[in-house]
Amino acid sequence: MKRILFLMSDTGGGHRAAAEAVVAALEIRYPGEFRSRLVDGWRHTPFPFKYSPETYEPTVRYGRLGWWAGYKITNGPTAARVAMLPMYHALFKSGMKRILRAFHDVDLIVCVHSVFVRPTVRALIGQERRPPILTIVTDLVSTHMWWYDPTWTAAWSPPKPPTSAACAQASRRSRCASPGCRCTPRFAEGLMDKAEARAALGWDADLPAVLVIGGGAGMGPLYAIARAINAKGAWCQLAVVAGRNESLKARLDAATWRQPTHIYPYVHNMPTMMAAADILVTKAGPGTISEACIAGVPIVLSGAIPGQEEGNITFVVRSGAGVWAPGPHRVADAVASWLAEGREGLARRAAAAKALGRPNAVWEIAEEVRHYASQPRVIVDERGNRRTALLPHAGSRS
């Protein structure tokens, strides 16, 4: 049985979700062949950084300018090296070595978080033979320089070329493949006909449906967005997923609504809900965008994390699959405008979203993971650079 270590984090839902999607694909297609372990690298750093999964959401929400500045300043060949080596190597050095000692017998290391790529490579320096290292880039378009390292094995990149010259230069030095949007293999299987999905949910069969989500944590001004849509009095039905945000759900439950409105806590049937929806309102997270495109539901983007999600806006808007409408009132205006276009307009936008969907991407990534997990350990020099070449997978692009 091959052993795979996934280095991810719960700083946002995309990293864990991407790792779990690949693990699920491996278990479905190759049952019993792999034993996968998911480890949150931030949990092995000193205080207070070990609590990054808890502080990530408020940091992004209330420190947007600082987050954006930090992203831009470190996103370049020299800046990435200068910022990464002294600070992040010191931060991750002991913890990463501890992780790798605990999982010294793994056949493949898969990094599903940008800040773990270079510390992992450096922590393995001194080992004459190391397992292959594969990077799965979870960002769709705006990929940070830290995702790329010329000494690792390979990377699965987003569907569009890296937007910055620094990332393009890094990706040219290392072999990358581009599978496009990815999500759990069960998502596409869970999709169904719109009428069937609405019947399963108990939604009105005829009213256009607007689905408002903010991830598992119920991030963003969901209450204000829902109330702004409600104030329009448009001919539609509204579904709001509050996630694990219990106080948000209580406020939504207590409100008075002008149209049929369905309030949900954290749900496990998102494929059914997206299949039933005509419009999706969400922030520009890569996982949700991927799922919406596979489901063929057009997107009103209500917000984005500075830096890594900025490119997602252009990706969606230029394709005609959605619009950028930051803030509750702009969201409500966009929703009302789309509803006024009628079913033909919604169908046109749905087709544009569907054209971006890549339901087979996770299977392609699973094939790549399986290929590199079957390779022999890599011989490296004293700096950690490879001295032996790995056989590329037939489905990969250099």
Q: Is residue 153 in a domain?
A: yes
CATH number at residue 14: 3.40.50.2000
169 and 216 both lie in a single domain: no
d(CA 114, CA 257): 43
Q: Is residue 390 in a domain?
A: no
69 and 32 both lie in a single domain: yes
DSSP-derived letter for residue 124 is T
305 and 213 both lie in a single domain: yes
Q: What is the pLDDT of residue 348?
A: 96
Residue type, 146: W
Q: Is residue 216 in a domain?
A: yes
Burial of 340 (C-beta count, 10 Å sphere; 0-12/13-18/19+): exposed
Angle in degrees, 0-180, between the axes of helices 52-62 and 64-74, rounded to the nearest 10 = 100
Q: Is residue 388 in a domain?
A: no
Q: What is the pLDDT of residue 93?
A: 85
Q: Is residue 389 in a domain?
A: no
104 and 211 both lie in a single domain: no
Q: How many domains does the chain have?
A: 2
Q: Is residue 94 in a domain?
A: yes
Q: Is residue 392 in a domain?
A: no
Q: Whole domain around residue 258: which residue ranges? A: 187-356
138 and 18 both lie in a single domain: yes
Helix (H, G, I), strand (E, B) or coil at 200: helix
Residues 6 or more apart whose Cβ sits within 8 Å of residue 264: 239, 240, 241, 242, 249
Q: What is the pLDDT of residue 57?
A: 83
Which tokens in the block code for residue 327? Answer: 């803030």
229 and 349 both lie in a single domain: yes
pTM: predicted TM-score of the whole model, two decimal places: 0.86
d(CA 130, CA 84): 22
Q: What is the pLDDT of residue 161?
A: 45
Do 64 and 137 meet the contact criterion of CB atoms below 8 Å apart?
no
Q: What is the pLDDT of residue 128?
A: 76
Number of helices (H), then strands (E), belonging to the chain: the values are 17, 14
161 and 12 both lie in a single domain: yes
173 and 320 both lie in a single domain: no
Q: How far is CA 248 from the centre of its chain?
A: 24
278 and 368 both lie in a single domain: no
7 and 23 both lie in a single domain: yes
Residues of the chain with pLDDT under 70: 13, 77-85, 150-182, 218, 380-398
Q: Is residue 8 in a domain?
A: yes
Kindly give the pairing relationship between strand 279-282 and strand 299-301.
parallel
216 and 344 both lie in a single domain: yes
88 and 217 both lie in a single domain: no
